Structure 1
Amino acid sequence: MPTAVAAPFRFFSLQVVRTRRLGPSLARVTFAGPDLSAFASGGQDQSLSLFLPHPGQSEPRVPIELGWGSPRSSEAESGGGWWQGWRELPDDVRAVMRSYTLRALRRDPDEIDIDFVLHGVEPGAATPAGPASRWAYEAAPGDRVLLLGPAIEDNRAIRFRPPEDTDLVVIWADETAVPAASAILEALPAGTRAQAWLEVEHVADVQDLVTAADADINWLVRDHVPHRPKGMGGAPTPMAVDAVRAAQLPPAERPYVWIAGESGQVKELRRHLVRERGIDRRRITFVGYWRRGLTEEQLREQE
């Protein structure tokens, strides 16, 4: 399997250009900035760190020598020395940091899209919105953010790396990973066989994807699960594992699997694919984007 080059990441100062609702639970925010020309990514599941301001702040607080232009220090270029200082800032001052994947990168003009899950923003929600969902729901042109992203195309924050001999691509994603899965599917070349399951909350969250690949894309809608309590938001259900377990995969000698989303679901799917399907664990990429019951700060403390 291809390996990534170790390369520095750097900060990019960005502003919101426009927003678009993709469905009841999904919103797309488009960003631009004067130094985005230096942003480089050659992968469809490019991981990013996004820094958001608290309500009342005009820009996110990260303790580095960084104006709203290009980074001025080697530490900023490597994405390194700011970390301890950021952690030492008061909770209500330091920027909210969240991990996202790149949905799209465009040139001329330089823009990127990031898709946000909007759990808890609806009136009367059982679980209130987190800071990132709330920010995305209220985002408007001109709002400022910081992004820690790659300076070269081949970097370690790209995980979708099918071996050259792959004869079937298998994908599962919940809505937190749907942006990455969608970008992967859209980029697959003609002649590639693919089987995908994409899980969302509402039927209106289902998106039309265009791909040149020979892809069977199955959308799983949690709101259709019988006897499921309302207001559960992004709570996992047995739907994911049940759908994959019941499926008859196309015959393949060298499949490659990419699964991403809630950690518990990802682990259970990986266990099924290895133990029950007999797929070589070295040909499975699995990424826990979030864990039920824990915030990203709590997850980070456990690392």
Structure 2
Amino acid sequence: MSHHPYSTFRTTVARISRLSPSFTRITLEGDDLQHFGTDGLDQRIKLIIPLADGTVTDVGQLDASLSMGEWYRRWRELPDELRNPIRTYTIRSPRPVDREIDVDFALHGTDGPASAWATGAEVGDPLLVVGPDARAEEPAGGIEWKPGAATSVLIAGDETAAPAICSIVESLPEHTTGEVCVEVPTEADALPLTAPDGVRVTWLARGGAAHGVRLSAAVHEWGRQRSAAAGVAELAEPDPDEVLWEVPDAVTGGEYAWLAGEAGTITALRRHLVRDLGIDRRSIAFMGYWRQGRAEGS
């Protein structure tokens, strides 16, 4: 039997660990996770959030004969009251041998379906996870961290990118140098993270500042130290038609930047790196995970 690159895995909550005021780690277990295919890093997955009554509408997502695209079309055709929210997350730690995965949630109240689910989750709760299947012959994709031979890195993002950033940093070779900037809601949200000696990690507590201001300032400061280019500027207003997600196919230079988080902040930072600092756009991966004031489009 052939397998699709992405499969839907039945899981249940095995453990819940509060990491900080804003972060909760939920460990999911399930027999099918032995086939979960990923090396971690910034591997994207989809979570199918139960409806208010705890149900999940059957659109064939557990039918191994259907591709994700096929059942996803059925999902899109459902009436709102039957359409389970689907949200994108990144794996914090996969352990196929143990049939477990860790997913870290940045909690922001109960208005959003994923944060609401994580806030109220209990051991034993079911959750469907759409992720790469190791049995598939075709690669699933979903990993954008592709530094090539680069040995100097800039990694920047907000709390939604923190799980991916932590996984990436822990994978860096010891000879890597660079800067890691993570904007989080409070000082208490700085998570333990082991990095190579040549990589500086800075957790930026937002406090009362607007989202993205501290991250932008930190990246501009990195730019000043790197080259004496432009000083800190006001955060540019994003172009509504601007590309919000772009990753290079191959990096040929020794420098690589990975930016992820709120789309307006991330696109403005990418413009700064390219236009002001002269960094080759082919050496920059940037991902607008979400946009201020808008719900994620599933």
Report if TM-score (shorter chain) is over 0.5.
yes
Aligned CA RMSD, in angstroms, stands at 1.9
Q: How big is the shift at 1:277?
A: 1.3
Q: 1:137 matched to which residue of 2?
A: 119
Q: How big is the shift at 1:194?
A: 2.3
Q: 1:43 to 1:24 in 2, by over 3 A?
A: closer
Residue from 37, 49, 56 that aligns with 1:60: 56
Q: 1:272 matched to which residue of 2?
A: 272
Task: Tell me the amino acid that sits aligned with residue 54 of structure 1.
Answer: L
Q: 1:158 matched to which residue of 2?
A: 143
Q: 2:218 matched to which residue of 1?
A: 243
Residues 271-290 of structure 1 correspond to what in structure 2 (within 5 A)?
271-290=271-290
Alpha-carbon deviations, 1:88-111, whole Å to 9, x = none? 223222221000001101244221
Q: 1:239 to 1:205 in 2, by over 3 A?
A: same
Q: 1:82 matched to which residue of 2?
A: 71
Q: 1:148 matched to which residue of 2?
A: 130
Q: How many residues align?
A: 266
Which stretch has the larger CA shift, 152-161 or 259-268? 152-161
Q: 1:62 to 1:250 in 2, by over 3 A?
A: farther
CA contact (8 A) 1:10 1:79 kept: yes
| Runs of 4+ off more than 6 Å | none
TM-score w.r.t. length of structure 1: 0.82
- Point out where structure 1 has 5 or more consecutive residues left out of the alignment: 1-6, 67-71, 122-128, 229-234
Q: 2:241 matched to which residue of 1?
A: none
Residues 246-257 of structure 1 correspond to what in structure 2 (within 5 A)?
246-247=221-222, 248-249=224-225, 254-257=254-257
Q: How big is the shift at 1:62?
A: 3.8
Task: Tell me the amino acid that sits aligned with residue 150 of structure 1.
Answer: P
CA contact (8 A) 1:264 1:291 kept: yes
Q: 2:94 matched to which residue of 1?
A: 105
Is 1:28 aligned with 2:25?
yes
Secondary structure (helix, strand or coil) at the match of 1:171 reads strand
Is 1:194 aligned with 2:178?
yes
- Separation (CA, whole Å) in 2 of partners of 1:277 and 1:262: 21
Is 1:211 aligned with 2:192?
no
CA contact (8 A) 2:178 2:199 kept: yes
- Point out where structure 2 has 5 or more consecutive residues left out of the alignment: 228-252
Which stretch has the larger CA shift, 153-162 or 274-283? 153-162
CA contact (8 A) 1:168 1:193 kept: yes
- Separation (CA, whole Å) in 2 of partners of 1:39 and 1:80: 19
Q: 1:125 matched to which residue of 2?
A: none
- Separation (CA, whole Å) in 1 of partners of 2:142 and 2:197: 24
Q: How big is the shift at 1:80?
A: 2.1
Is 1:168 aligned with 2:152?
yes
Secondary structure (helix, strand or coil) at the match of 1:288 reads strand
CA contact (8 A) 1:174 1:200 kept: yes
- Separation (CA, whole Å) in 2 of partners of 1:94 and 1:284: 36
Q: 1:185 matched to which residue of 2?
A: 169
